[in-house]
Amino acid sequence: MLDLRLTRAARPAVQLRRLLVAAASAGTGFLLLSCLGYALKRPEAAGSAALRLAWCVVPVAATVYLALAVARTDPGTRPRPGLSAIGLGPARLMAVSALVTALSTTLGSLVALSLFLHLRGDLTGLPFDGAGASFLAAGKSLPLAATLTLLAVVPVVATVAVALALRPSDPRPVVRPQRRYLPFVRQAGGPAVGGRAAGGPAAGGRTDEVEAAGGGGAAGKGTPAAAAPAGVIDPRFTSPSLTDKADDEGAGDTPAGLPWAVALVAAGLTAQAYAGRKPPTPAFTFTTVPTGAGLFLLGWLLTAVGLVLAAPGLTHLCGRLLQCARPGALRLLAGRGLMAEATRIGRPLGILCAVTAAGYAVTTLYDSPGRPFGPLSALGALVVAGCAFATLLTVAVETRQGRAETTDALLRLGAPATVLRGAAALRAFALLAFFAPLTLAIAALAAFPLTR
């Protein structure tokens, strides 16, 4: 009952995000059912039906990513002090998040099934003068097992992804044994490593003399040296602990992987340019992929992955550029915020850039009278683009929630609220000014082989 109250008592913004997940699930479920209808209508075109189903992996992944982002920002399922005492520990809250995600996606799948049956004419007759009968297999009975399997894809995958991402972890740090970097370093209170044990016969007398001299010198100065047990490595030659490394790392460290991401983008554009020397025949569409189009698809995939991996590093670079040339308080605050949240904001921003570049290439591909942009293609593009944009907004909300304590501290110190709002606007403008030309340039280069 308490879990239900936590779910129902959410703010309108949280409920709106859950409705967005349900809408994305409904669109993806309708696309999957449309693939089933196409296969029932044209049983001889099994390859084309399988290709349509394979393209549905993209909206399914976009919907699952949106559901995961919404689950992370749900304030009702966030661990708070005192909830464990009433039985709402981290594991229980994770189960609540997974349950809410399952309910939202299942609602969307039911809406998709109702709309699909309505357009087929199974409920009240064929609407729109039977315009959807050509690809919805109107008049043919739907196989129950296939229908339920396709409708369960999004709820099951989204629920499992949320459960795995939000699973509670052990708060205790993992203690690992110290590693010796120099095998010949003398141990404290014993001989060199690789020699005999302390007091054994294999050690030379020189080592014992040096140790005795060192101990005597220390005693003569009034600071007797404590005898360390044998087998303890000299701390001067040990690697720094994980805690020390975490203390040394600042919030604005450069995200790793930027050189590899740039290499992937360059490799993808090169593959597309190489494949564009000889256009594939027949023409490339969503339902017919010719043999020579494999290099095109590989190039698009490499370019998209490279954009996603490069976005955190580029976001960090935006923060550094904002702070150059004697910055004031406004630019310094905006730049440090971008550097601290580069990884969290960069990934969904990179996905949005990749979707935009792919959308430009698809628009160029279908910019001809012989290959019209059909309703199902438009629905798929709307689902993917909408999920990418909604995920970016959701991550922005999560970032704002993470900075709530810092914002409150600045307000208590007397910082004007206009400065904080100006810093947020400056961050958004800097990201737009940096990523918009970059995305358009990559999109133009990716679509250039298709226009030749």
pLDDT, tens digit, 9 for 90 and up, residues 247-258: 444 445 678 888
Mean pLDDT, residues 24-31: 94
Candidates 414, 413, 430, 412; CA nearest to 422 is 430
pLDDT, position 390: 94
Highest-scoring range by mean pLDDT, 148-152, 167-171, 188-192, 276-280: 148-152
Which of 85-89, 321-325, 337-341, 365-369 is least confident? Answer: 365-369
Q: List own/partner pairs for 343-346 with CB under 8 A and 24 or more apart.
A: 343/255, 343/312, 344/395, 344/398, 344/399, 344/402, 345/312, 345/315, 345/392, 345/395, 345/396, 345/399, 345/431, 346/255, 346/311, 346/312, 346/313, 346/314, 346/315, 346/316
- Mean predicted lDDT score pLDDT of the chain: 76
Span 375-411, pLDDT tens digits = 888 899 899 999 999 999 999 888 888 888 888 888 8
pLDDT for 195 equals 44
- Residue 105 has a pLDDT of 94
Give pTM, 2 decimals: 0.75
Question: Percentage of residues in the chain with pLDDT exceeding 70?
Answer: 66
- pLDDT > 60? residue 197: no
Q: 256 versus 330: which is more confidently predicted?
A: 330
- What is the pLDDT at residue 213? 46
Answer yes or no: is pLDDT of 36 > 70.
Answer: yes
Higher pLDDT, 447 or 135: 447
Pick from 66, 91, 59, 67: which is nearest to 77 by CA?
A: 91
pLDDT tens digits along 62-102: 999 999 999 988 876 666 666 666 666 777 778 888 888 99
The pLDDT value given to residue 431: 93
The CA distance from 442 to 209, in Å, is 70
Question: Does residue 199 carry a pLDDT above 60?
Answer: no
Residue 310's pLDDT is 92
pLDDT in tens, 106-139: 999 999 999 888 888 777 766 655 556 666 777 7
Exposed, middle or buried, 296 (CB in 10 Å: 0-12/13-18/19+)?
A: buried
SS3 call for 289? coil
Residue 179 pLDDT greater than 50, yes or no: yes
User: How far apart are alpha carbons 96 and 6 in whole angstroms?
Assistant: 9
**pLDDT tens for each residue of 164-176:** 988 876 555 555 5
Tokens describing residue 408: 């409150």
Phi, psi torsion values for 233, nearest 5 degrees: -80, 145
pLDDT score recorded for residue 57: 92
Q: Using CB atoms within 10 Å of the CB of residue 346, give its burial: 0 to 12 exposed, 13 to 18 middle, 19+ buried.
A: buried
Instruction: Specify the DSSP element, H or E, that contains 24.
Output: helix 12-41
356-361: Cβ within 8 A, 24+ apart: 356/385, 356/439, 356/443, 357/303, 357/304, 357/307, 357/439, 357/442, 357/443, 357/446, 358/300, 358/304, 358/446, 359/385, 360/440, 360/443, 360/444, 360/446, 360/447, 361/300, 361/443, 361/446, 361/447, 361/450
φ, ψ for residue 148, nearest 5 deg: -65, -35
Q: What is the pLDDT of residue 148?
A: 93
Tokens 């996603």 sit at which residue?
308
- How big is the chain by its Cα radius of gyration, in Å? 30
Cα distance between residue 152 and residue 113, in whole Å: 11
- Exposure b/e, 260-295, CB count within 10 A at least 16 = b: ebeebbebbbebbbebbeeebeeebbbeebeeebeb
Q: Indicate if the pLDDT at residue 209 is higher than 60.
A: no
Which residues, other chains included, contact 363 with Cβ-Cβ below 8 Å and sequence gap of 6+?
373
**Which of 42-46, 53-57, 160-164 is modeled with the greatest confidence?**
160-164
Q: In one letter, which amino acid is 119?
A: L
131-165 pLDDT per residue, tens: 566 667 777 788 889 999 999 999 999 999 999 98
